[in-house]
């Protein structure tokens, strides 16, 4: 495939050049517009999930003060909060949003290789969100089975939304998987096939490695969810017995017979655990780039970081049953999955060390994106360490149904990825808009969010040790729990409301800056990667003007000894500095 | 530069354009073909998980598994799908012979699609036969799996036929802006894949 300058590309580029408002902003095939559409939808639906979590917290902190929060609504809120946050917000925003925005820019291409498919992906994603939200308006409301949708409970009458609610959830997930697959084929093909001249795989920024590996994980893991959704829909609508065993419900024997609920759990978690890394790996990648840029230092152990991402991706398919210790399993199985779970901690810890070592002796600029990135290291270490506890069968069994687990997974896959999202949104905001955000407001936003989330989740660990059960609408005959636990719960609720309101600062900041922010210039952070070297900011359709960039070096040439500036962009030719670097001490 | 060289090199040590001024894709195939290969892998995962579920439900379910007596019609359908795959391959060979410039006039591409339609109609007939014999969807997990497995397989074929019909339309219109021989080749690939999947599924349901 020979290199063809834009002037000679008669069709590939011109084919989807937008010429009206509709084709430019609505039915757009431009990856940047699609990224913002993905991001907008994801953040919108994420705010709904945030609202639901506040309603849950109000019930837990101040039981029975809001009359219309009944047990059914509480479980519906729990379920929709979980599913929306994990799938429709985090997966969509990291891969659909940042994946779409950064892949063509960081790879030096004009767009994704299949722009039409890309456009289809975002609209099908919107459809899946609409189907999901429609379940709030159907008889019985949305499903209240918990985000894991365990059969047979999720489709048995008595569970909130066991009719239309669960059906819409399953259909919505199916549609989402179609959208993801269309996007995923694009991301993988673009990264593998369309990189610009000189951009070898090992010169890719870690953001791309994270997004790429997460996409591959998604492509392999979502089929498991699809299979379980198809079979559960059959059990629900057509009376088959894939998952539903013989049951007596309200004194009546149900038609079902012989189904295997454990099979559903295996299928669900075969998707569910890689899903954690579908969210985490792009976060790992993005945070690496933010840390390196704002510490003015090359990322420590680049190759190690790449292989760690791939190793985590591979291992993530071998740990799923650690979510099922309390479902009962052969002890040898438990031993196997505990071992693999602990093994996955090795590449993960390696990444944490490398982030810290990237900061070591760096010229650290404590601006808003950097604060969020460093905050992520804290929350991720906390969440990761509690994961080591829960990975062991013998510790998991007593803790599994307590708030310790809630605290653990919110730290590791709630707060941590969200902090990275903020770091990334602030970091790339100047490129997306051409405007600088308000730094002071950004810092206030960070401290409120960072300290606020600790105020929420740190006490939850303690509640877990006390034995406070999770999933409970209110405490019943639980005399072993001291009354002070309720005071702690009230505190957590107040902190949660505070953090939720603090997020307004972010929205005020980005909308205000869009209009009144200072012009940022093309490369305000002095970053090396290609997206900062575009001729226009924000980049125009086609990204690169007349000629595609050529890449002469890796993505992390910061503070190179002997170089003029403290960064050398990837598309800058020349090799003199390299020799100086080696002569000075051979630190390569 | 090979993939191995690429992923083992120390990127901080090298400056310049290792491949010269031509950008090299990682794999020396068209984008469409790579995307198809990735999709085939994804679909394989889907079918594999269905098969694993089949075994788990059979071995560890409630002991209510009753094997189906498969209608002999399935063999006829299998023959149709094999013929469809062969026709697709013949279409590939003849379109290659005719070269990229000349639009393929080979009828085999059409034949392949029509045979596939025949397979799908045949599968529906099998469903009807089974239902009339009392092997209804809900009555037994073996039946449920039979309908789900064949149904998901048919859905994949329908997706293939959608792409096939678009390519066929271009062939009829003699649309010069698209390389139809590429579409024919990709269709053939996909058809072979779905044939292999069908062999696996047929074996699975036949040996329960």
A403-410 and A439-466 helices, crossing angle to 10°: 150
| A386: its two tokens | 């509690």
Higher pLDDT: A22 or A218? It is A218
Q: Which residues contact A315 (CB under 8 A, 6 or more apart)?
A: A340, A343, A344, A347
pLDDT in tens, A457-474: 999 999 999 999 999 998
Look at B6 and A201 and tell me if their CB atoms are within 8 Å: yes
Look at A223 and B144 and tell me if their CB atoms are within 8 Å: no
User: How far apart, in Å, are the Cα atoms of A19 and each of A29, A100, A112, A186?
Assistant: 12, 21, 19, 24
Residue A466: per-residue pLDDT: 93
**Does position A30 have pLDDT exceeding 50, yes or no?**
yes
Residue A524 and residue A545 in contact, taking contact as beta carbons nearer than 8 Å: no
DSSP state letter for B97: H
Q: What is the pLDDT along chain B (208 residues), one digit of tens a residue?
A: 677 877 888 888 888 888 777 778 889 999 999 999 999 999 999 999 999 999 999 998 888 899 898 999 999 999 999 999 999 999 999 888 876 555 556 789 999 999 999 999 999 999 999 999 999 999 899 999 999 999 999 999 999 999 999 988 888 887 666 678 888 999 999 999 999 999 999 999 988 6
Q: What percent of chain A has pLDDT over 70?
A: 94
3-state helix, strand, coil in chain B (%, to 5): 70, 0, 30
**Does position A532 have pLDDT exceeding 80, yes or no?**
yes
| B40: its two tokens | 């085939």
Question: Quick one: which of A186, A317, A7 has its CA closest to B35?
Answer: A186
Q: What distance in Å separates the CA atoms of residue A200 and residue A101, rounded to the nearest whole number? A: 20
pLDDT range class, residue A4, cuts 50, 70, 90: very low
Residue located via tokens 């012009």:
A519
* Residue A448 neighbours by CB distance under 10 Å: 17
| Cα atoms in the 13 Å half-sphere on the side-chain side of A443 | 5
Q: Which residues contact A504 (CB under 8 A, 6 or more apart)?
A: none
Residue B13: per-residue pLDDT: 83
| A323: its two tokens | 């979510």
* Residue A251 neighbours by CB distance under 10 Å: 5
Domains contained in chain B, CATH given: 33-206 (1.20.120.80)
Residue B2: per-residue pLDDT: 76
| Cα atoms in the 13 Å half-sphere on the side-chain side of B142 | 19
Nearest C-alpha of chain B: how many angstroms from A385?
31
Query: In the predicted model, what is the mean pLDDT of residues A172-198?
Result: 96
Q: What percent of chain A has pLDDT over 90?
A: 85
**Does position A11 have pLDDT exceeding 80, yes or no?**
no
Look at A223 and B42 and tell me if their CB atoms are within 8 Å: yes
Residue A227 and residue B151 in contact, taking contact as beta carbons nearer than 8 Å: no
pLDDT in tens, A223-252: 999 999 999 999 999 999 999 999 998 888
H helical segments located in A194-260:
206-237
Residue B130 and residue B68 in contact, taking contact as beta carbons nearer than 8 Å: yes
DSSP state letter for A99: I
**Span of A243-247, A369-373, A508-512, B96-100 with lowest mean pLDDT:** B96-100
Question: Which of A240, A255, A550 is closest, CB to CB, to B137?
Answer: A240
Question: Which of A188, A238, A551 is closest, CB to CB, to B38?
Answer: A188
Residue A191: per-residue pLDDT: 96
Buried residues in A211-237 as b, exposed as e (16+ CB within 10 A): bbbbbbbbbbbbbbbbbbbbbbbbbbe
Q: Counting beta carbons within 10 angstroms of the beta carbon of residue A314, is it exposed (0 to 12), middle (13 to 18) or buried (19 or more)?
A: middle
Residue A546: per-residue pLDDT: 85
| A252: its two tokens | 């009546």
Contacts with B63 from chain A: Cβ below 8 Å: 258
- A-interface mutation test, from B11, B47, B63, most A Cβ less than 10 A away: B11
Q: What distance in Å separates the CA atoms of residue B74 and residue B72, rounded to the nearest whole number? A: 5
Residue B172: per-residue pLDDT: 82
Look at A3 and B22 and tell me if their CB atoms are within 8 Å: yes
Nearest C-alpha of chain A: how many angstroms from B154?
15
Q: Which residues contact A215 (CB under 8 A, 6 or more apart)?
A: A95, A99, A183, A184, A187, A188
pLDDT range class, residue A212, cuts 50, 70, 90: very high
Please spell the DSSP secondary structure of A471-518, one letter per residue.
T-SS--S-TTS-THHHHHHHHHHHHHHHHHHHHHHHHHHHHHHHHHSP
Question: Quick one: which of A241, A249, A262, A237 has its CA closest to A324?
Answer: A262
| A223: its two tokens | 């089929």
pLDDT range class, residue A323, cuts 50, 70, 90: very high
DSSP state letter for A22: I
**Does position A13 have pLDDT exceeding 60, yes or no?**
no
End-to-end CA, chain A:
34
- B-interface mutation test, from A2, A223, A233, most B Cβ less than 10 A away: A223
A134 to chain B, any CB pair closer than 8 A? The answer is no
Q: What distance in Å separates the CA atoms of residue B203 and residue A245, rounded to the nearest whole number? A: 27
Q: Counting beta carbons within 10 angstroms of the beta carbon of residue A14, is it exposed (0 to 12), middle (13 to 18) or buried (19 or more)?
A: exposed
Question: Which of A185, A202, A263 is closest, CB to CB, to B11?
Answer: A202
> What's the distance, CA A239 to chain centroid?
35
Q: What distance in Å separates the CA atoms of residue B141 and residue B62, rounded to the nearest whole number? A: 10
Three-state DSSP at A68 gives coil
User: How far apart, in Å, are the Cα atoms of A280 and each of A221, A283, A304, A562?
Assistant: 14, 5, 17, 36
Q: Which residues contact A34 (CB under 8 A, 6 or more apart)?
A: A28, A96, A100, A118, A119, A121, A122
Q: What distance in Å separates the CA atoms of residue A254 and residue A274, rounded to the nearest whole number? A: 34
**Strand runs (DSSP E) across A179-297, as ranges?**
248-249, 252-253
Q: What distance in Å separates the CA atoms of residue A92 and residue B139, rounded to the nearest whole number? A: 39
**Span of A13-17, A376-380, B114-118 with lowest mean pLDDT:** A13-17
Contacts with B61 from chain A: Cβ below 8 Å: 258-260
Residue A98 and residue A282 in contact, taking contact as beta carbons nearer than 8 Å: yes
Q: What distance in Å separates the CA atoms of residue A259 and residue A261, rounded to the nearest whole number? A: 6
Q: What distance in Å separates the CA atoms of residue A470 and residue A405, rounded to the nearest whole number? A: 8
Nearest C-alpha of chain A: how many angstroms from B35?
6
Cis peptide, bond prior to residue A538, ω within 30 of zero = yes
pLDDT range class, residue A15, cuts 50, 70, 90: very low
Q: CA nearest B46 in A: which residue?
A: A223
Query: In the predicted model, what is the mean pLDDT of residues A190-213?
Result: 95
User: How far apart, in Å, are the Cα atoms of A344 and each of A73, A316, A388?
Assistant: 37, 7, 10
Q: Counting beta carbons within 10 angstroms of the beta carbon of residue A288, is it exposed (0 to 12), middle (13 to 18) or buried (19 or more)?
A: buried
Query: Could you tell me if residue B20 is left (phi over 0), alpha (psi between -120 and 50 degrees) or otherwise beta?
Result: left
Helix H, strand E, coil C: the string for A314-382 is HHHHHCHHHHCHHHCCCHHHHHHHHHHHHHHHHHHHHHHHHHHHHHCCCCCCCCHHHHHHHHHHHHHHH
Nearest C-alpha of chain A: how many angstroms from B40?
11
Query: In the predicted model, what is the mean pLDDT of residues A536-560?
Result: 92
| A304: its two tokens | 């190690």
Residue A203 and residue A186 in contact, taking contact as beta carbons nearer than 8 Å: no
A220 to chain B, any CB pair closer than 8 A? The answer is yes
Contacts with B43 from chain A: Cβ below 8 Å: 223
| A569: its two tokens | 């962009």
pLDDT range class, residue A56, cuts 50, 70, 90: very high
Contacts with B40 from chain A: Cβ below 8 Å: none
Q: What distance in Å separates the CA atoms of residue A413 and residue A323, rounded to the nearest whole number? A: 15
Q: What distance in Å separates the CA atoms of residue B23 and residue B31, rounded to the nearest whole number? A: 14
């Amino acid at each position: 495939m020979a290199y063809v300058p834009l002037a000679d590309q008669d069709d590939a580029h011109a084919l989807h050049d937008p010429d009206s408002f509709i084709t430019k902003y609505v039915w757009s095939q431009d990856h940047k517009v699609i990224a913002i559409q993905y991001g907008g939808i994801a953040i919108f639906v994420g705010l709904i999930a945030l609202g639901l979590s506040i309603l849950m917290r109000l019930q837990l902190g101040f039981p029975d003060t809001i009359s219309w929060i009944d047990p059914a609504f509480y479980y519906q809120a729990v379920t929709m909060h979980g599913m929306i946050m994990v799938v429709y917000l985090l997966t969509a925003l990291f891969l659909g949003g940042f994946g779409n925005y950064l892949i063509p820019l960081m790879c030096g291409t004009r767009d994704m290789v299949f722009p039409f498919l890309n456009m289809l992906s975002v609209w099908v994603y919107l459809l899946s969100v609409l189907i999901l939200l429609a379940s709030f308006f159907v008889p019985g409301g949305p499903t209240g089975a918990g985000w894991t949708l365990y059969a047979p409970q999720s489709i048995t009458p008595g569970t909130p939304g066991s009719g239309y609610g669960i059906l819409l959830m399953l259909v919505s997930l199916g549609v989402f998987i179609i959208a993801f697959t269309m996007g995923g084929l694009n991301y993988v093909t673009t990264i593998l096939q369309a990189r610009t001249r000189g951009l070898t795989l090992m010169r890719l920024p870690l953001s791309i490695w994270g997004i790429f590996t997460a996409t591959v994980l998604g492509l392999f893991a979502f089929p498991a969810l699809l299979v379980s959704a198809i079979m559960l829909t059959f059990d629900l609508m057509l009376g088959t017995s894939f998952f539903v065993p013989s049951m007596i419900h309200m004194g009546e024997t149900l038609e079902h017979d012989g189904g295997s609920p454990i099979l559903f759990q295996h299928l669900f978690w075969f998707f569910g655990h890689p899903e954690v890394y579908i969210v985490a790996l792009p976060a790992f990648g993005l945070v690496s780039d933010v840390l390196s840029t704002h510490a003015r230092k090359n990322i420590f152990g680049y190759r190690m970081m790449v292989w760690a991402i791939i190793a985590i991706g591979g291992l993530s398919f071998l740990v799923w049953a650690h979510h099922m210790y309390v479902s009962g399993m052969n002890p040898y199985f438990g031993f196997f999955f505990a071992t693999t779970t602990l093994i996955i901690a090795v590449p993960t810890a390696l990444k944490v060390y490398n982030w810290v070592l990237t900061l070591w002796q760096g010229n650290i600029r404590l601006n808003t994106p950097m604060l969020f990135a460093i905050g992520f290291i804290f929350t991720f270490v906390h969440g990761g360490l509690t994961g080591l506890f829960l990975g062991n069968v013998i510790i998991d069994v007593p803790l599994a149904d307590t708030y310790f687990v809630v605290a653990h997974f919110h730290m590791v896959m709630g707060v941590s990825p969200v902090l990275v999202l903020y770091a990334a949104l602030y970091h790339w905001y100047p490129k997306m808009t051409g405007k600088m955000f308000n730094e002071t407001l950004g810092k206030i936003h960070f401290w409120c969010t960072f300290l606020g989330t600790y105020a929420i989740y740190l006490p939850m660990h303690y509640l877990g040790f006390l034995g406070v059960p999770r999933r409970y609408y209110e405490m019943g005959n639980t005399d072993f729990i001291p009354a002070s636990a309720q005071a702690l719960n009230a505190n957590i609720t107040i902190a949660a409301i505070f953090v939720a309101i603090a997020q307004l600062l972010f929205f005020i900041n980005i909308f205000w800056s869009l209009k009144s922010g200072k012009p940022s210039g093309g490369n305000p952070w002095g970053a090396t990667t290609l997206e900062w070297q575009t001729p226009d900011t924000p980049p125009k359709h086609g990204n690169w003007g007349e000629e595609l960039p050529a890449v002469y070096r890796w993505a992390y040439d910061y503070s190179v000894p002997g170089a003029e500036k403290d960064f050398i962009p990837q598309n800058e030719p020349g090799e003199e500095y390299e020799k100086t670097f080696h002569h000075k001490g051979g630190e390569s | 530069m090979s993939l191995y060289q690429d992923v083992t090199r120390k990127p901080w040590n090298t400056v310049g354009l290792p491949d010269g001024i031509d950008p090299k894709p990682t794999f020396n195939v068209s984008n469409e073909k790579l995307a198809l290969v990735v999709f085939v892998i994804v679909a394989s995962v889907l079918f594999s998980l269905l098969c694993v579920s089949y075994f788990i439900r059979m071995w560890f379910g409630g002991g209510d598994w009753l094997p189906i007596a498969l209608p002999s019609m399935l063999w006829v359908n299998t023959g149709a799908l094999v013929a469809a795959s062969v026709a697709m391959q013949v279409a590939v060979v003849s379109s290659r012979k005719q070269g990229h410039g000349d639009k393929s006039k080979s009828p085999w591409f059409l034949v392949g699609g029509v045979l596939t339609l025949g397979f799908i109609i045949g599968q529906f007939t099998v469903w009807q036969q089974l239902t009339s014999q009392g092997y209804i969807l809900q009555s037994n997990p073996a039946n449920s799996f039979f309908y789900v497995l064949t149904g998901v397989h048919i859905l994949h074929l329908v997706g293939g036929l959608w792409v096939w019909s678009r390519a066929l339309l271009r062939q009829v219109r003699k649309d010069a802006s698209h390389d139809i021989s590429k579409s024919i080749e990709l269709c053939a690939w996909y058809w072979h894949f779905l044939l292999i999947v069908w062999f696996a599924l047929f074996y699975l349901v036949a040996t329960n």
